[in-house]
Every structure is written in structure tokens, then in C-alpha cells.
């Protein structure tokens, strides 16, 4: 038996390469490969770096579907199904919209694959795939099998999963729905083994909120300290209240942490159910504490809540410049399906498309709803301008020198490459046609 894994791209402009900073190794596929019995032949087409071979000889096609990649996933699936090859879909979007995914494939795995993958393979071998398999939700003990990446060129950073889910419940977040506002820590032994098995020095610890469970986080940081690695991760601003936690993070090799500030406006934070960010106290002081601990910040903001206008984007930009964040993202709000945000905007009749992810002509970087105090087009362009300004030469120089004293020399070296690349990608990302690969010949 042979299984073909496909990781679809969001979309591609004609003759352009895929966004460079997104080309990380797809851990998801390595986990699915690890779950697959060794007697089954496997191959991977990573649509972000190569076109799928629609003529490949295979018995089963497995596609990872995210909301942004749903349209392209369905098109790819159609090509294989025309040849009579069964297609399985799984991942975030297939889990939150199984009825939609089912229209485009033979079988959907809802949730995480670990608990149902063997059954699905047995059924596929016997030609009796079920329409839907209900997988579990948790952090399981599987070592990803990265041999499936052989020959593919990804960014030189290893992804190691440390946990899944988050204890919070922000209105716009897919994760809080997928994991029902629960955090699932992964076994520390597995994490350590994965780190030791990696060929790289830099790690991206894959977690929605590394500090969701303080006790678990402290214990993990202590255990990985002797490994002498450098890592980046993601966690909430609450870490800044906890000096001991910050110290343990730094000692374990944390160089950069992605923090979702989201908004500086109290009412916006309340509306997104993220008041905890405001309640933590003075943000300037919290930022200082993270920086004083020797950790750089990747600050992310989201705009489109009811108090947002050009002024709130400008304030976030000024705040970011003042603190010289290592890097920052100025995103517009996007109603992902099955989030409370989506339901609310739909009830308020503010969605521009019922399903933006499948809509004809919808492009990356565009709004999919009508904000209250600014037009959709204006907000899209104000966010783009903030990204441009934050990556302008003067700002990058100032930030670079500020980060000199903060992070390690290695991380300082990386700063220039990463920020110049992000700056160059601002306009490359705008208007990427969702679901289209314009290099692909029509069938
Ligand atoms: C690492 C990461 C990235 C990395 C690289 C991703 C990559 N493909 O390599 C970077 C930083 C580049 C990135 C970028 C983006 N990301 Co991202 N990313 C993640 C993150 C944190 C981890 C993904 C991961 O490796 N998980 C570990 C694996 C093992 O778990 P898993 O993917 O869930 O897989 C399990 C199940 O879902 C299921 N499954 C998955 N696929 C399949 C397929 C089959 C056939 C089956 C049976 C089962 C199955 O079984 C798996 C094993 O249990 C997730 C959040 C998360 N916790 O997963 C967000 C996440 C996937 N990203 C998200 C988004 C929105 C983006 C961006 C669009 C952000 C942006 N605006 O720029 C871009 C898009 C990039 C792209 N698609 O090209 C959203 C997707 C939401 C949605 N509804 O689709 C998520 C869920 C984050 C969130 N808070 O909502 N991302
Ligand atoms: S804190 Fe972050 S990961 Fe957790 S629910 Fe909110 S946005 Fe999602």
C-alpha cells in the first residue's frame, strides 16, 4: 500500500515563490508518517515548494486542511478523486467544518489522528473507509518521523511540539474551539528525545500557550536547560508577571517569545474576551520585564474590533517602535469558521462573504467583514502600511541595535535576516489569491 501526503499552499501568484518565512517543516505530516506502519510506502508533496504529482501511483491521498488552504485542498482532492483514488482529510478546518470537507473527500478525520489512524488504514486496505472518524483531542506520545522531509528545503529550525491547546477562550481563536479552552501538555521525555534527535541548533517549540500550565512549564524549562539549545515559542503576557518563570525560560534557551498583545484598547480586549491582557497591569512595565530577562518579543496585534480605527493601528505601531520589539505583526481580524467571532459577525450581518475561504476573488490580506469605525479596504491598507513602516530601514536599524543587548549574538545575527525577509514579504503576501496556484496549468 502507498499513502501520498499533501500539504496544500494557501495560494500562489504567477511565477512567484511561496512566502519564505512560512516554509517551516510541516510537523503535522511527520506525526502522520510516524503513525503509519513501516510496511506502507509514503511520499509527501508540499504544495508550498512543489506541485503535487497528480499522476503519482498511490492508493490513498491524505490532505491536511487549514481554513486558508481549504479551497486549494478541495481542488487538489478533486484531481485525485477523478482517478478513483480515495482522499482523506484532517486538520483544523476539516475538524471544525467536517460537513463541508465531506463534500470533497471520501473520509474526514475529526480531531487528532493518533487514536484513529490505524483503524482508518485498516479500513482503507479493505476498501471500506468510513465517512467520518472521530479522533481524540490531546497531546500524544508520538515521535514525529521527519524522514518524510528528505530532499525538501525548509527553514533551518526544528519544530518540536510541547503542548496543544490553551486555557483561554479568545473570541477569534480557532484553537480555543478546537481544544475547548483546555491545555494538553506533552510528555517531557518525548520533548527531550525530539530535541536530541534534531540536526539543528534552533528550535521552535510548538505550543499555543507555553505558559498555560505554570508548573508544567517550570518543570519543562528546568529539564531542557542542560541541552543548551536556543528556542522561540509562544505564550501569553501573563509570563511577565512571573520573574522566576522568565528566569527559567531564559536559562533553558528562550531567545524569542511570540506574545499576542492583540490590542491596547481596554474595550476591544473585553470584546475579544482577552481582558486578562489588560488586567495584568501596565504594559510598558510588563514588556520591560521580559526584555530585562534577556528575551526578545515577537508582538502580535489584531485590528477590526469595534473600537478600532486608523488611530488604534497607529498607537500599536508607536508602542512597538517605543519598545523596539524584535519583530511585530499588524494583522487584521479574520472570522475563522466556528469561532464565536464568526457567529457574532454573522448574527450582526457584517460578514462580506458567508465563507470567505471558498469565495471567488477573495485574496490574502483582505477583510472579510465590515468593521464598525473604518472601511474594510482602509483597514487592510492601514495594516499593510504599519507592516511597511515597522520594516523600514530606520526602524529595523533601531530595533536591531536595541536587540543587541537583549538576545544572544546568534539571535542578533538572525535578526537582520529575519526582519529584512519579513519586510520584503509585506507586499508579496498582499493579494495572494486564496486557493489558486497560478503556476498550475488548468487540467
Ligand atoms: C507551527 C505553526 C505555523 C508555522 C508553520 C506551519 C507549517 N505548516 O509548517 C508558521 C509560523 C509558518 C505558521 C503560519 C501560519 N499559520 Co500557523 N500554526 C502553527 C501551529 C502553532 C502548530 C502547527 C503544528 O505543527 N502542530 C503540531 C501538529 C502535530 O498538530 P496538528 O497540525 O494539529 O495535526 C494533528 C491534527 O490536526 C490532525 N491532522 C492534521 N492534519 C491532518 C491530516 C489528515 C489526513 C488527518 C487524518 C489528520 C490530520 O492530526 C494531527 C496529529 O494529531 C498551529 C497551532 C497548533 N497548535 O497546531 C498554528 C495554526 C495551524 N496556524 C494558523 C494560521 C491561521 C496560520 C497563518 C495563516 C497565520 C498568518 N495569518 O500568517 C499562517 C499560514 C501559513 C501557511 N499555511 O502556509 C491557524 C489555523 C487556523 C485554521 N482555522 O485553519 C492555527 C491553528 C493557529 C491558531 N491559533 O488558530 N503556522
Ligand atoms: S491566548 Fe492565544 S492561543 Fe489562547 S485562546 Fe487566546 S488567542 Fe488563542
Dig out the grid coordinates for 377 from the structure: 479596504
Instruction: Out of 210, 213, 236, 305, give the residue to mutate to test ligand 2, the one with the largest number of ligand atoms within 8 Å of its CB.
Output: 236
At 72-107, the pLDDT tens digits run: 999 999 999 999 999 999 999 999 999 999 999 999
Ligand nearest to the CA of 155: 1
Residues with CB under 6 A from ligand 2: 166, 168-170, 173, 175-176, 208-209, 236, 260
Alpha carbon of 175 to ligand 2 centroid (Å): 7
Q: Is 392 in a helix, a strand, or coil?
A: coil
Per-residue confidence band for 405, with pLDDT thresholds at 50, 70 and 90:
confident
Report the C-alpha gap between 115 and 11 in whole angstroms. 31
Inform me whether the pLDDT recorded for 442 exceeds 70: no
389-410 mean pLDDT: 88
Report the C-alpha gap between 426 and 424 in whole angstroms. 6
At 245-255, the pLDDT tens digits run: 999 999 999 99
Write out the CATH class of domain 156-429.
alpha beta
pLDDT at 440: 81
Instruction: Out of 166, 172, 259, 341, give the residue to mutate to test ligand 2, the one with the largest number of ligand atoms within 8 Å of its CB.
Output: 166
Distances (CA, A) of 76 to 54, 65, 100, 382: 8, 11, 15, 34
Instruction: Out of 64, 355, 380, give the residue to mutate to test ligand 1, the one with the largest number of ligand atoms within 8 Å of its CB.
Output: 64
pTM over 0.85: yes
Residue nearest to atom 1 of ligand 2 (CA): 168
Ligand nearest to the CA of 275: 2
Alpha carbon of 274 to ligand 2 centroid (Å): 8
The answer to whether the 2-134 and 156-429 domains have the same CATH topology is: no
Per-residue confidence band for 443, with pLDDT thresholds at 50, 70 and 90:
low
At 339-393, the pLDDT tens digits run: 999 999 999 999 999 999 999 989 999 999 999 999 999 999 999 999 999 999 9
Alpha helical stretches, state H, 197-333: 214-224, 243-251, 266-271, 275-279, 283-292, 310-323
Residue-range domain boundaries for the chain: 2-134, 156-429
306-332 mean pLDDT: 97
Looking at ligand 1, which atom is closest to the CA of residue 336? 83
Report the C-alpha gap between 100 and 331 in whole angstroms. 27
272-288 mean pLDDT: 92
Measured from the CB, is residue 298 less than 6 Å from ligand 1? no
Architecture of domain 2-134: 3-Layer(aba) Sandwich (3.40)
C-beta of residue 386 within 8 angstroms of C-beta of residue 331: no
Measured from the CB, is residue 379 less than 6 Å from ligand 1? no
At 187-197, the pLDDT tens digits run: 999 999 999 99
Of the ranges 119-128, 143-152, 280-289, 399-408, which one carries the lowest mean pLDDT score?
A: 399-408
How many CB atoms lie under 10 A from the CB of residue 17?
12
Amino acid at each position: 500500500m502507498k499513502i501520498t501526503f499533501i500539504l496544500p499552499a494557501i495560494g500562489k501568484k504567477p511565477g512567484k515563490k511561496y512566502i519564505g518565512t512560512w516554509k517551516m517543516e510541516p510537523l503535522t505530516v511527520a506525526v502522520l508518517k510516524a503513525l503509519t506502519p513501516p510496511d506502507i510506502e509514503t511520499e509527501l508533496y508540499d504544495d508550498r515548494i512543489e506541485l503535487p504529482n497528480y499522476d503519482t501511483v498511490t492508493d490513498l491521498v491524505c490532505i491536511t486542511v487549514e481554513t486558508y488552504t481549504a479551497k486549494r485542498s478541495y481542488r487538489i482532492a478533486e484531481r485525485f478523486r477523478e482517478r478513483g483514488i480515495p482522499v482523506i482529510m484532517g486538520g483544523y478546518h476539516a475538524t471544525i467544518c467536517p460537513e463541508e470537507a465531506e463534500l470533497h473527500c471520501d473520509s474526514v478525520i475529526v480531531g487528532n489522528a493518533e487514536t484513529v489512524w490505524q483503524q482508518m488504514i485498516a479500513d482503507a486496505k479493505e476498501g471500506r473507509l468510513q465517512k467520518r472518524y472521530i479522533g481524540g483531542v490531546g497531546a500524544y506520545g508520538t515521535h514525529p518521523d521527519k524522514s518524510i522531509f528528505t530532499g525538501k528545503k525548509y527553514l533551518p529550525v526544528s519544530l518540536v511540539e510541547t503542548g496543544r491547546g490553551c486555557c483561554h477562550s479568545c473570541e477569534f481563536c480557532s484553537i480555543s474551539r478546537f481544544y475547548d479552552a483546555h491545555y494538553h501538555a506533552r510528555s517531557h521525555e518525548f520533548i527531550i528525545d525530539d530535541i536530541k534527535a534534531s540536526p539543528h541548533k534552533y528550535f521552535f517549540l510548538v505550543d499555543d500557550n507555553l505558559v498555560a500550565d505554570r508548573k508544567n512549564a517550570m518543570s519543562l524549562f528546568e529539564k531542557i536547560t542542560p541541552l543548551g539549545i536556543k528556542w522561540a515559542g509562544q505564550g501569553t503576557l501573563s509570563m511577565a508577571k512571573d520573574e522566576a518563570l522568565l528566569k527559567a525560560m531564559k536559562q533553558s534557551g528562550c531567545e524569542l517569545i511570540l506574545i499576542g498583545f492583540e490590542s491596547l484598547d481596554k474595550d476591544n480586549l473585553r470584546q475579544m474576551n482577552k481582558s486578562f491582557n489588560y488586567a495584568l497591569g501596565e504594559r510598558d512595565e510588563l514588556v520591560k520585564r521580559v526584555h530585562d530577562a534577556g528575551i526578545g518579543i515577537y508582538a502580535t496585534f489584531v485590528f477590526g474590533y469595534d473600537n478600532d480605527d486608523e488611530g488604534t493601528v497607529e498607537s500599536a505601531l508607536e508602542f512597538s517602535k517605543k519598545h523596539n520589539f524584535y519583530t511585530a505583526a499588524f494583522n487584521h481580524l479574520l472570522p475563522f469558521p466556528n469561532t464565536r467571532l464568526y457567529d457574532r459577525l454573522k448574527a450582526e450581518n457584517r460578514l462580506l462573504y458567508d465563507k470567505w475561504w471558498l469565495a471567488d476573488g477573495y485574496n490574502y490580506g483582505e477583510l472579510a467583514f465590515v468593521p464598525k469605525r473604518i472601511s474594510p479596504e482602509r483597514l487592510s491598507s492601514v495594516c499593510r502600511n504599519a507592516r511597511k513602516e515597522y520594516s523600514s530601514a530606520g526602524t529595523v536599524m533601531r530595533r536591531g541595535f536595541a536587540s543587541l543587548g537583549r538576545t544572544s549574538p546568534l539571535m542578533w545575527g538572525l535578526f537582520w535576516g529575519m526582519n529584512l525577509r519579513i519586510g520584503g514579504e509585506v507586499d508579496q503576501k498582499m493579494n495572494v489569491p486564496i486557493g489558486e496556484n497560478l503556476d498550475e496549468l488548468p487540467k
